Amino acid sequence: MKRFFQPVQKDGPSKKSSLSLSGEDGESTETSEEEKKEPSRFLTWNANSLLLRVKNNWPEFTKLVTSFDPDVIAIQEVRMPAAGSKSSPKNPGQLKDDTSSAREEKQILMRALSSPPFGDYRVWWSLADSKYAGTALFVKKCFKPKGVFFNLDRKASKHEPDGRVMLAEFETLRILNTYAPNNGWKEEENSFQRRRKWDKRILEFVTEYSDKPLIWCGDLNVSHEDIDVSHPEFFSAAKQNGYVPPNKEDCGQPGFTLSERKRFATILREGKLVDAYRFLHKEKDMEQGFSWSGNPVGKYRGKRMRIDYFIVSEKLKDRIVACEMRGKGIELDGFVGSDHCPVTLELSSCPSSPNVDRT
């Protein structure tokens, strides 16, 4: 959820981190007998600046990744700027390194990503022009995507504005990592209108590309039901500077307006999709049932929302083994320095695929 923060950059000398588009990079097209067809363990996290997390919280995140051992890690709010100087076109698939400060930040990040266990992953980036938004996708090297795209149109080399989309195509499934734009508070181009357009495009994507199962994860910036927020009345009545939108369904906290929730329900229904966490957890969990928490100081203290998800095709629902919020409590235990906690998903092995050797 868009709140109080910022981004980072790409990699230069490190080959595995300089990947920008599967199929264009040499490493991404290599094959070996050890490569597996289908990942089954996933982690998504809005890091709220990956560089800050590397500087301040990396041991904790490293411990989580080591213990859970995800095949795929989806990151939102990378907050690293894309490569390119002010006067030249930007390269959203590369980290900025044309100034001394940018090179230093990039080196800090790449050192962290080359150390265990992160050296076991290929890394793709989709970045904004500044330290804002941006996504990253880490895929274990034993899993070879058939292609990686950075837009909902599946067009080579094109990146969505602000680096909000990453799509990995595997032989038997697709993985979509998105950082949805915040709805905002007003009927403006960069607020309600932007979010409506986004939801329309997501709906078109999930209905058009239904030929193989989908795993859609990330900061989706919406809480579907009352059960998905800690204080429904508070969020329903929320206002900014006393402003009340003309449409009653646009009133309330961004991410919890009736219009957003209805559109999200339509996406799930028309796309034949299942909320993996809610599929397993039917009851409200005030301790560990939310992925975003408000500022510990002020009126948002203790106010929490579940806006980070794993959404899967109905075809996969019987393979859901576990889906968990990795943070809990109003003191942000397990949030690893961010205002969002990591969320994990585990699927059982596909009956038609060999079991993955996790050693």
Tell whether the torsion through CA atoms of 95, 218, 142 and 156 is positive or negative. negative
Average pLDDT over residues 114-143: 97
Q: Of 121, 132, 179, 309, which one is the catalytic site residue?
A: 179
Cα 358 from Cα 142, distance rounded (Å): 10
Structure confidence at residue 21 (pLDDT): 36
How high is the mean pLDDT of the chain?
A: 90
Confidence of residue 4 (pLDDT cuts 50, 70, 90): very low
pLDDT reported for residue 87: 81
State whether residue 60 is helix, strand or coil. Answer: helix
Burial of 54 per CB tally in 10 Å (0-12, 13-18, 19+): buried
Q: How far does Cα 226 stand from its chain's mean position?
A: 22
Residue pair 7/109 in contact by the 8 Å Cβ criterion: no
Q: Give yes or no: 340 in active site.
A: yes
pLDDT score recorded for residue 349 = 86
Please give the pLDDT value at position 30.
46
Nearest 5°: the CA angle 46, 47, 52 is: 165
Rounded to two decimals, the pTM is: 0.89
Active-site residue, selected from the candidate residues 159, 224, 231, 340: 340
Known binding-site residues for Mg(2+) equal: 46, 77, 219, 221, 339-340
Out of 23-27, 115-119, 157-161, 198-202, pick the least confident. 23-27
Among residues 219, 228, 250, 275, which one is catalytic? 219
What is the reported pLDDT for 149?
98
Q: Is 193 helix (H, G, I), strand (E, B) or coil?
A: helix
User: Does 37 have pLDDT greater than 60?
Assistant: yes
Digit-coded pLDDT (tens) for 181-202: 999 999 988 899 999 999 999 9
Neighbours of 256 (CB within 10 A): 24
Clarify whether 219 is annotated catalytic: yes
